[in-house]
A = this chain, B = another copy of it.
Amino acid sequence: MAPGLDETTVFQPRFGSDGLIPAIVTDARDGTVLMFAYMNAEALKRTQETGLAHFWSRSRGALWKKGETSGETLKVSEILTDCDQDVLQLKAEPQGRGAACHTGRRSCFYRRADGERLSFIDDRRLFNPKSVY
């Protein structure tokens, strides 16, 4: 019997019915979660081929090379998958100014929820989004 998805050594990423798989990007240096996006098969293929993170932009309906406009590319050092192979984790080294977020912050996860309020845990901008986009 072939090993189940959780024990196999065959990479069989399970894209959803929309053709997408969620991808968590962490900083290869210290593990900080930088961003979260979706990949289709083509984005994953290009990421593996080029070593730079590519995603599928759901809002634009297009393949998206991360950093194409901003210069904030992500050099992928490792691609991990989870037990049932329906999520990916990319360990990446941020290039450019080191701002993975379109707001100019290092990470997209810069606010903490306390009840219904958010507080900023990182408000440092590494670039001015108005001058970049």
Contact = CB atoms under 8 A, between A and B. Distances in A.
Nearest to A84: B108
A69 interface: no
A102 interface: yes
A33 B33 contact: yes
Contacts of A61: none
A24 interface: yes
A121 B80 contact: yes
A41 to B, nearest CB: 12
How many copies of this protein are present in the complex? 2
A30 B31 CA distance: 8
- Interface size band for A: 35 or more
A81 B103 contact: no
A115 B81 CA distance: 12
A108 B83 contact: yes
A112 interface: yes
A73 interface: no
A60 to B, nearest CB: 14
Contacts of A32: 31
Interface of A: 6-11, 22, 24, 26, 30-33, 35-36, 48, 78-83, 87-89, 101-103, 105, 108-113, 115-121
